Chain A
Amino acid sequence: MSQIVLAPTPEDAAAEKSRRAPLSWVWRQLKSNPGAATGGIVFLVFLLVSLPARLVAPYDPHATFATGYRPPSPAHWLGLDDGGHDMVSLLIYGTRTSIFVGFGASIIAIVIGVGLGLAAGYWGRATDAGISSITDFFLVIPEVPLMMVIAAVWGQGLGKMILIIGGLLWTWTVRVIRSQVMSVKERVYVRRAKALGATDWRIVTRHVLPQVAPLIIVNFVLTVAVAVFDESALSFLGLGDPRAISLGRILENADQGGAATLGAWWALVPAGAVIAILILSLTLMGQAVEDALNPRLKVSHLSRKHFLLLPNVRTGAGRPDPTPGARQGEILGDVA
C-alpha cells in the first residue's frame, strides 16, 4: 500500500536542530522575554558576587573599623554598621547565606513536595486523601511560633532554619504537582502505556515525571524566592543563626541598633533592597521558565512554521472545535 510521505525538507531539519540546540534556545528566550531575562541576569550577578565571598568582599565582615555607625566613604562604600563592620562585606556574605538557605530549604521542600504530590496525584483516592490531610495539617502550622519553640528547645542555627523553612514550604509544591499529575495521568498515552503492561514505576518515571518536570523547575525557582523571604523574616525576628551573617540579620541588627532614628540609612536600606531585588529576580526567572516551558506542558515541541495557521484547532471528525482566533503555540490544521 503506497503512501506519499512528505519528508521533512532540509530547512525543516535545520530549523528543528537549531530549535533544540540549548544555546540558541536560551538566546531566543532572552530575546522574547526581556523582563525575565533581566531577572536571570540580576540573579546571576548576585550569585557571582556572593558565592566567592571571601574573594569579592573588600574586608573581613567581622573586622571592626570604628565604634559605631559611619556614613558611606571612599574606603567603605556603604559605610559601617553599629558595630563598625563594613556594610558592603556584610551584604556580600549576607547574600550568600540567604541564597544558601533559600536553595537548601527549597531542595527539601521540592523533594518532599514532589514525592508526595506524585503519590497523591497518581494513586489517588486513599493515598490522596491521606496526603491531603497531612498537607492541610502542615499548612496550618505557623512558622514563627514553631521556630521560636525549636529555638528555645534546641537552639538556633542555619541548619535548623533550613529544615524548618523547607519542612513547611513543601505544602505549596504538593498541591501544584498533584494537580498536574492528575491531569497527565489521564492522557491517552499514559493509559496506553498502562495497557501495554507498564508497571506504575515505569509510568511515573518515564511518562508522568517528564511531563511534570517543567512545572517542578518553575516551582523550585519560585520556592527559592519564598524561602529567601522566609529566612529574612525569621532572622529579622531574631530567630536566625546568631553566628551567621544573613540579610535578615543585617536588618535585625539595624533595627536593634536604632539605625532608623539615627538616620543611618546605609545600614538599613541596602539590605532591604538586596532582599527585594533578589526575590524579584528569582520570581522573574521563575516566570521566564514557566513561559518558555508552558506551551510544552500541553503541546510540546511545537513550532508554528510546521502548521497551517487557521482558526481551527485540530479539526478532525468528531473533535469539538472551540473558539476561533489563533493563539500562539496552538496546533491549527495539520500538514503531513
Chain B
Amino acid sequence: MTAPLLEVNNLTTVFGSGRGPIQALRREPAVSVRAVDDVSFTVARGELVALVGESGSGKTTTAQSLLQMIPVTGGEVLFKGQDVSKVSGRALRALRQHMQVIYQDPYESLDPRYTVRRTLEEPLLIHGIGGSRRERADIVTGALERVGLTPPDLFLDRYPHQMSGGQRQRVSIATALTLEPELLVADEPVSMLDVSVRAGILELLDDLRDSGLGILMITHDLSTAAKYADRIAVMYLGRIVEVGSARDVTRDPRHPYTQALLSVVPTPARAGLKRQVLTGETPNAAHIPSGCRFHPRCPQAEQTCQATDPVLGVVPRGAATHEAACLRLADLVPAAAGGDDTTPV
C-alpha cells in the first residue's frame, strides 16, 4: 500500500505567552496553551476524514498547523512522505500548491474588489501556471464547471456581493481547484450557509473525494460527518479521543464523550430518546485537567481516571481501525458489540 497522502504524527502546538519581567517578579507561571497535544492521524487519497469537535477541541488549530499558518511546536506533518512542518520560503509556497484550504466564511473569503475571474486567476499567476491568457482562461472555466457554476461566463465578471453564500463557497473551492491540489482542508465549509444549500456543497466535496482528492474536513456537526466522511476523529481539548470509520464511530461509539455528543444530536426520527447532556463546558486549554482530560465531566469516570492520561487503543470487540482513548474501554463494552443498549443510535 502506498504511503498515505497526509500523515500527521504526534503533532503538538503550544501557544505560550511566556512571561515578561513583571510576571517573573510576581512569580506567575508562564501561560502556555496546549491547543493541540500529541495528535496523529492520516488522510489517504480519495478519502474524506472528518475532524470533529467543539470549540476548544483544537481541531481548527490542527488544520492551521498543517499549512504552517500557525507554527508547529512538535511532531511531524508528512505530506507524501516529506515532513512539511519545517519547510519555509519557496519550498513552503510550492507546497501550498498541493494543499489547499476552504474557509468557513463565504462572505469574507473572497476579496470584495476582485471579480470571480480575477480571484480564480490569482493562484495561477502566483505559481506561474498557464503560460498564456488563453490557457489560464481555460483552467478557470474548467474549475468553474467542476464546481457546478455553469455556464461559467455568467459568473466570471461577477463580484462577490452579487452572489449568494453558496455560490461564493463554490468560487472558493474552484479557486483551490485551479492549482490541482491533492489535499483539501475544508474548515467548517457549510456551517455559515443556509440549510438548503449545504447539501450541494457537501455533494461537491463528495465528488472531489471520488475523483481522488484527499479531504480533511473540520466540523462540529456529527451528522454531516457521519454522512460524508469515510473516517471520523473526535477531538477533545487537544487530543483525539476516538477515531475510526464513520460508521463505527457513530453507531458504536466507545468513548463517553463521543457517546454524549451523539446523544444530544437532534434526530427527529428518534425524538423521544434520552439525551446525555454533560454539565459544564470544555475547560480552557490553559488548564487541562490532570489524568484523563475528560474526567471532570465524564459520566463514567472513576478514581484511576484522575491520575492516568489514556492513549488511543483499539477498542475491544470492534474493528481494528476503531480506536478510543479511555481507561475503561474494556469495562464499557456494549452488550452486543455494534451497539444496542449503551448507544443511542
Contact = CB atoms under 8 A, between A and B. Distances in A.
Q: Do chains A and B touch in the complex (CB under 8 A)?
A: yes
B94 interface: yes
Interface of B: 67, 69, 92-94, 96-97, 100-101, 103-105, 107-113, 122-123, 126-127, 148-150, 154, 158-159, 161-165, 167, 172, 175, 179, 188, 191-195, 200, 203-204
Interface residues of A, number: 38
Interface string A162-201: 0000000000000000000000000111111111111100
Q: Is the interface of B mostly helix, strand, loop or mixed?
A: loop
A316 B192 contact: yes
Which 9 A-B residue pairs are closest in the complex by CB-CB distance? A197-B96, A188-B108, A197-B93, A316-B192, A318-B191, A188-B109, A300-B112, A189-B111, A336-B164
A301 B97 CA distance: 31
Contacts of A198: 122, 126
B97 A197 contact: yes
Given A1-B204, A196-B123, A197-B96, A210 B108 contact: no
B192 A192 contact: no
A3 B110 contact: no
Interface string A249-272: 000000000000000000000000
A21 to B, nearest CB: 16
B60 to A, nearest CB: 12
B109 A189 contact: yes
A211 B113 contact: yes
Contacts of A28: none
Contacts of A16: 162
A8 B188 CA distance: 29
A76 interface: no
Nearest to A7: B154
Contacts of A327: none
A271 B56 CA distance: 65
B200 A199 contact: no
Contacts of B112: 189, 299-301
A300 B112 CA distance: 6
Contacts of A335: 164
Contacts of A194: 69
Contacts of B126: 196-199, 202
B96 A192 contact: no
